[in-house]
Structure 1
């Protein structure tokens, strides 16, 4: 019985805070009912496994059962949460609540009102309106909520990288973090794997040159160096990088997307330039992104930026089916972007 009581204490202490905004996955803890909510799968998986791991620390023999909400049948929850012959504690993880059957919603709502003794139930909800009444019931009952929202902005990705390295006892130069985000992109699993590789293979402060050594080829392959060269007004380097990327099997679509992203950043920063640092912060970008855009904009006129954006928009349509030769379309767009830079 001693193993059961500690499992509930973290949740009661943080229930009020969790019910309002949610806690990060690093603070997920066992409780009678834990809601893990959000579409970022990596963070949600970590939250669930952290709850399971903490429960196992208290009772290495604890029984763990996982239910798929999409195939749930009436009464399953009652069966898996019922006391065993030896009154062992249990963890029950319900995956994909947003896909849950009507039977699951009914059973879970009833369970939340009277959770079983010695059971930690983790409800994993990937987002959307399905099951909203159940989610409200969990919050109303004081169940902790673990927020696993998608990491969308580059500032959030940079913060994720810094946190990953920090939890491993490592630090990286700001330019190295920026280079890693540029190289690996938006997929959190890949960012986490890249951080793990750097932690395992290097020592000391991680610098930009280290990231380039391990992931420089990825930057080229994803088109970011192509976009950087084009925006810098260097058509020769931009085309050389583009042809190298194409030769290694890169599809034109992500290259055009990288061009569009760089130009959108210039346009957004250009629109608030002159309004002060506060306006730039409101864009939700990392400081280094704003600084780079401000530096780039010294060589761009509004007319040149409009020309470049138009060229990329045309290329976007062409590489998605309106042209018989998407490779030619993206190369022409790269040259037009580079040519729009003020000399």
Structure 2
């Protein structure tokens, strides 16, 4: 069984990693006491006074008591009354663990009084800070080393370029690479691109399928999923434009009377995928695809800041426009 401290403060502005830390702690605790053994406080139940009352109350549970408190970034120092500080400092380390969770930003921070109370009781401060994009390749190299594999600078840069800027997703891909190649492996740019690009690019083809098929809802969902996974808008629009141009090229060659065999000689993709692209291009037609390519070219400019709208708003509007024909 893990050795539990009486208190934890899991905080920082990398919300993905703060959330993952919280989830891992909860999952580990559930193995020990079951889901019913976790007390989860949020909203009105997670004010400083309410938390003090909860921690002071007797429980009938058997085994260690786990309490997870969300939203402490909204607490003000003046609200953290001496009563709560005293309750935290009086936690019995042998029977109770409380985890305070703070999703911080420039305006919202865990209160200093709570930080001091957690330190005083012998707890742990776990801070997850977001990294700037330029620092992610260095972090990826370091994390790869911790997992037993080696990335050179170019390979680390390729990983970030293909996967995006969310460290949680980068870490998942590094873990996959470590499992696939084994401890001590030295991975090149080609190794990384071969492992991680197929999945991301296949997802972009899913977005293309929805656009070419006139499925507005499916296209918006695919776009939002890719963005949520950390795909940057400039890279995503570039991939999308490339794939849409391929669809337009196929449509034009079909109109010119070329058959599948002729197209297959120059369009490099698996046979099953080519058959699907040919069917989609034939159904959509040259005119609709040319219009879509033109609109997405304008979206590329918007992704670089050439728009007064939020870039994601611009993207969703573009998706709506190019799927409105159906």
Please give the TM-score of this superposition, normalised by the length of structure 2.
0.53
Match 2:193 to one of 202, 212, 226: 212
Q: 1:265 — aligned with what? A: none
Instruction: Tell me how far apart the structure 2 counterparts of residues 103 and 252 of structure 1 sit (CA, whole Å).
Output: 52
- Secondary structure at the counterpart of residue 195 of structure 1: helix
**Per-residue CA distance 1:204-256 (angstroms, 9 max, x = gap):** 322211222233465897577799xxxxxxxxxx9xx7731555899668845
Instruction: Tell me how far apart the structure 1 counterparts of residues 18 and 80 of structure 2 sit (CA, whole Å).
Output: 20
Instruction: Tell me how far apart the structure 1 counterparts of residues 98 and 299 of structure 2 sit (CA, whole Å).
Output: 41
Q: 2:131 — aligned with what? A: 151
- The 5 Å alignment of 1:1-343 reads 7=3, 30-49=4-23, 60-61=32-33, 63-69=37-43, 71-72=45-46, 75=50, 77-79=52-54, 82-85=57-60, 88-99=63-74, 105-106=80-81, 108-117=84-93, 118-127=95-104, 128-129=107-108, 132-138=111-117, 141=120, 143-155=123-135, 157-203=136-182, 204-216=185-197, 218=200, 243-245=241-243, 255-256=300-301, 315-317=306-308
Q: Compared with structure 1, are the counterparts of its residues 81 and 52 closer, same or farther at alpha carbon in structure 2 (3 Å cutoff)?
A: farther
**Structure 1 unaligned residues grouped into runs of 5+:** 8-29, 228-237, 261-312, 328-343
8 Å Cα contact 1:182/1:224 also seen in 2: no
**Per-residue CA distance 1:29-49 (angstroms, 9 max, x = gap):** x42222112021232234335
Q: Compared with structure 1, are the counterparts of its residues 216 and 253 closer, same or farther at alpha carbon in structure 2 (3 Å cutoff)?
A: farther
Instruction: Tell me how far apart the structure 1 counterparts of residues 115 and 16 of structure 2 sit (CA, whole Å).
Output: 24
8 Å Cα contact 1:37/1:125 also seen in 2: yes
- Secondary structure at the counterpart of residue 99 of structure 2: strand
Q: 1:302 — aligned with what? A: none
8 Å Cα contact 2:29/2:38 also seen in 1: no
8 Å Cα contact 1:70/1:100 also seen in 2: no
Instruction: Tell me how far apart the structure 2 counterparts of residues 208 and 168 of structure 1 sit (CA, whole Å).
Output: 18
- State the Cα distance separating 1:92 from its structure 2 match: 1.5
Q: Compared with structure 1, are the counterparts of its residues 52 and 45 closer, same or farther at alpha carbon in structure 2 (3 Å cutoff)?
A: same
Q: Compared with structure 1, are the counterparts of its residues 215 and 49 closer, same or farther at alpha carbon in structure 2 (3 Å cutoff)?
A: closer
- State the Cα distance separating 1:166 from its structure 2 match: 3.1
**Per-residue CA distance 1:250-278 (angstroms, 9 max, x = gap):** 966884588x5xxxxxxxxxxxxxxxxxx
Q: Compared with structure 1, are the counterparts of its residues 215 and 51 closer, same or farther at alpha carbon in structure 2 (3 Å cutoff)?
A: closer
Report the number of matched residues.
Answer: 230
Q: 1:11 — aligned with what? A: none
- State the Cα distance separating 1:89 from its structure 2 match: 2.1
- Secondary structure at the counterpart of residue 134 of structure 1: helix
8 Å Cα contact 1:65/1:80 also seen in 2: no
Q: CA RMSD in A?
A: 4.6
**Structure 2 unaligned residues grouped into runs of 5+:** 205-231, 248-291, 320-326
Instruction: Tell me how far apart the structure 2 counterparts of residues 254 and 191 of structure 1 sit (CA, whole Å).
Output: 26
Q: Compared with structure 1, are the counterparts of its residues 252 and 31 closer, same or farther at alpha carbon in structure 2 (3 Å cutoff)?
A: farther
Instruction: Tell me how far apart the structure 2 counterparts of residues 317 and 56 of structure 1 sit (CA, whole Å).
Output: 48
Please give the TM-score of this superposition, normalised by the length of structure 1.
0.51
